Amino acid sequence: MKTIFISIILLLSITVFGQVNDEVLTNTSITNLFQKGLSSSIIVSKIKTSKTNFDVSIDALIKLKDEKIPDEITNAMVEAAGNKDQAVVDVNDPKANHDPGLYYFSKKNEKTEMVSLEPTVCAQAKMGSGIGSALSYGIVKTKMKSNISGSMSRLQIEETMPVFYFYFDKAQNLNNSPSWFTASSSPNEFILVKMDVKKNSREFVTGSIGAYSGVSTGVDEKQKVDFDIEKLKSGVYKVTSKNALIPGEYCFMSAGSSTMGMGTVGKVFDFGIKK
């Protein structure tokens, strides 16, 4: 009874200390706890409720066996090592694992932050006035435009050469992906567009129609912005514009969605460059 009471006190002390110091359990931590006499059940509970950074390589497992660590503890360590929710990850490190999506890499005064760009739905598609086309009997093209509500994106960036990271989930079945973003597999499938800012909206050309020129789809070449792509590892890419971006509103969009139909775009990742 006395031993159990002491073990509980030790565990509570360790838990409180860990909360204050953001403790991370390692192989050495587990060995120390076991050698101090804590029971296997208490150590396993500690593993399940803590951040962990275990080495479960073959050599490390053999060493745990040599140190007579019970199998139930070793098994809990192996499970924790494979649990992404417990893995120690710096969410602001571009090299760390991230959910699929597009992120802006912000760096201010040596402090870095990965800012997720949430997709924005194009509110409506509209056609140009058509007056010029009517007066010219269709010779002048009528432009189709996609429109986004609001004259300014939520994300406003101060630098003119921003760095973005694209993360794609290679494990997803691309034909049955639950996420619109994971339906793509490379930044090569995206285009960067500089939008025209109106009083209460932002817009860009996605097609045109004329009596003689016929129907054309796709973003106006004048609104496209070139960017460089650097592949860091499978499914992870660093993207930067080739030239400094002038102040204004921009968006990344799937190149394929811009040619599905007149004015059809769907979702975009929008941001602004401050003046």
Q: Indicate whether 75 and 124 sit together in one domain.
A: no
Q: Indicate whether 249 and 203 sit together in one domain.
A: yes
Give the residue from 53, 81, 109 where a domain finishes: 81
The tokens for 258 are 């811009």
pLDDT averaged over 10-residue windows placed end to end, the chain, 275 residues: 49 44 81 92 89 87 93 91 63 82 90 90 64 46 84 94 89 42 79 94 81 65 95 92 96 73 69 94
Give residue 70's domain range.
Answer: 2-81
Q: Indicate whether 61 and 114 sit together in one domain.
A: no
**Is 131 within the bounds of a domain?**
yes
Outline where DSSP puts E strands in the chain: 24-25, 51-52, 101-108, 111-116, 120-121, 124-127, 142-149, 156-157, 163-167, 190-197, 201-210, 214-217, 224-225, 227-233, 236-241, 248-254, 267-273
Q: Indicate whether 30 and 107 sit together in one domain.
A: no
Q: What are phi and psi of 144, to 5 degrees?
A: -100, 135
Q: Indicate whether 145 and 219 sit together in one domain.
A: yes
What is the predicted pLDDT for the residue at 30?
A: 93
**Is 112 within the bounds of a domain?**
yes
What is the predicted pLDDT for the residue at 16?
A: 41
Q: Indicate whether 132 and 226 sit together in one domain.
A: yes
Q: Indicate whether 126 and 227 sit together in one domain.
A: yes
Q: What are phi and psi of 131, to 5 degrees?
A: -65, -45
Instruction: Note the pTM of the prediction, 2 decimals.
Output: 0.61
Q: Indicate whether 245 and 200 sit together in one domain.
A: yes
Q: Indicate whether 182 and 210 sit together in one domain.
A: yes
Query: Are 181 and 187 contacting, i.e. CB atoms less than 8 angstroms apart?
Result: no
Q: Indicate whether 201 and 127 sit together in one domain.
A: yes
**Is 249 within the bounds of a domain?**
yes
Domain count, the chain: 2
Q: Indicate whether 262 and 143 sit together in one domain.
A: yes
